[in-house]
Every structure is written in structure tokens, then in C-alpha cells.
Amino acid sequence: MKRIFKKALTFLSVYYAYMVEYRAELILWVLANSLPIILMGVWIQAAQGGRFGLSPVDFARYFLAVFLLRQITVVWVVWEFEREIVEGKLSPRLLQPIDPVWHHIASHISERAARLPFTLLLMVIFFLLYPQAFWLPSLANFLLFILAAMLAFALRFIMQYSFAMLAFWTERASAVENFWFLFYLFLSGMIAPLEVFPPSVRAVVLCTPFPYMIDFPASILVGLPVDLGRGFLSMVGWILVFLGLNRLLWRRGLKRYSGMGA
């Protein structure tokens, strides 16, 4: 256990140092995920007509939570893995006594730590500009949000990493992720909270993995009604589904990769 902890700490420190080198770009990466802040203004204006079950303040808090979740759950592993396959950089990593996925996990976690100060700064600026939206979640909701956010990142990562396995068969595995992202964009709660969806549509959407990556954790943080049992069980279930798919594609992909002379 001590050796595992030491290796993990080394991985994280190395990739954190690497990410800090790009700290100027980190500001742009944070701003690139500011779509929820833009949509916040649209929904606040729409809510002033009283046609929705949420008030303008509720929308402001919800989309701020979405902005925070986007900083936590953003994933780019499919593009990195695709480049490793195309450029042959996966071969030396296969010689190491560790699964290559841990390089990507360490990179993503370290990047979260590097961008955290910029994210908190933007949230402080938001509350200064819109003090009516300031609130402090209960300790229970905050702890549940942390757990849900970690599971949401795990689900988003293993889902995209599964698509990345298609790089063993095609040089455009990222195209599958780009197509999948359209469903993620509209069904996850990033464009609109599920509270404003018609009940019949909401029931169908809740059977997909998308709302559990954005809407479910965000609703917990702002105190909107959610089914905690169903939510967490669904997240774990979808993680196991994509994990099984990922391991299957990994084993078959490695056989094809070695057959190409790598």
C-alpha cells in the first residue's frame, strides 16, 4: 500500500508541475467552459415571466453549480489516446509495469488542482456582481455533492476512455466523442435543468447516463429535489457498464495494435 501511495503521489506531482507550466492557458481553459454562465442570463430573463417552476435566483445558482461541475468533470482523454495511437507513443508506455490509463488519470486530476484557483476567483466575482444568488449549502448537501461530482467525473472519464479505444480501429475515434457530445450537451442539464423538461421527456432522459453527470450533482448542491438513491445507483451502474465495455475493447484493441507491428 505504501508503494502504491508513493507512486500515485509521484504521478500527481509530476503532472501537476507539467500543468502549472501552462497556467496562462489554464485561464483560457476555464473560460472555455463558461457556457453555463451565458445560459444563466438567458434563463434568468425567461424566468422573470413566471412560466417556470424555478425563480431567477434558482436558475442563477443552478448554472453556477453547472459551471463548477464543468470545471471538475471536463475530460480530453480521447484526443490524447488517439494521438498516442497515431504517433506510436503508446508502445513505450506498454513496456512500463503500469496500465497507461493511470497517466491520463493523473493528468486530469492534476489539472483540476491547477485550475481550482481560477475557478474560485470567477465564482467570487460572480457573487460580487450578483449577491442575491449567494448561498451556503448545508453540510449534508455539500458532502453529497462532492461524492456525486467525483462519480460524475469517473463516469465522464470512463465513457470517453471507452470511445478512445476505438482508436485501435480508426484514426478518428474523437469523431464518435464529438457526436456523443451533442446528446451530452442537451440531455445532461447543461443547457437547461431537468426541472423544466416535460415529465414524460424527463422520465426517458433519466434512463440515460447524461443527467447524472451535470443535473444530478448540480441539483444536490443548490437544494433542488432529487432521488438520491436512484441517482447514485444509476451513476455506479453506468460506470460499471462502460468499465466493462472499456476493458473488452482494450483487450481486443491490444491484439490488433500488436498485429500492426507496434
pLDDT tens string 37-51? 777 877 877 777 667
* Separation between Cα atoms, residue 136 and residue 197, nearest integer Å: 27
Q: Say whether pLDDT at 218 is over 60.
A: yes
- The mean pLDDT of 97-106, rounded to a whole number, is 88
* Separation between Cα atoms, residue 189 and residue 177, nearest integer Å: 18
Q: Say whether pLDDT at 148 is over 80.
A: yes
- The mean pLDDT of 136-146, rounded to a whole number, is 94
Name the average pLDDT for the chain.
86
| The model scores a pTM over 0.85 | yes
* Separation between Cα atoms, residue 115 and residue 29, nearest integer Å: 8
Q: Say whether pLDDT at 214 is over 50.
A: yes
* Separation between Cα atoms, residue 121 and residue 190, nearest integer Å: 21
Write down how long the chain is.
262
In the chain, what's the furthest Cα-to-Cα distance?
Answer: 64
Q: Quick one: pLDDT at residue 23?
A: 62
Q: Say whether pLDDT at 195 is over 60.
A: yes
Residue 259 confidence class, pLDDT cut points 50, 70, 90: very low
Cell numbers placing 177: 466523442
For the chain, domain boundaries: 2-259
Q: Quick one: pLDDT at residue 7?
A: 67
* Separation between Cα atoms, residue 135 and residue 150, nearest integer Å: 22
What letter would DSSP give residue 96? S
Measured at the CA of 63, the angle between CA 72 and CA 122, to 5 degrees, comes to: 65
Q: Minimal CA–CA distance to 260: which of 160, 162, 167, 163? A: 167
SS3 of 141-192: the string is HHHHHHHHHHHHHHHHHHHHHHHHHHHHCCCCHHHHHHHHHHHHHHHCCCCC
Backbone angles phi, psi at 251, to 5 degrees: -65, -45
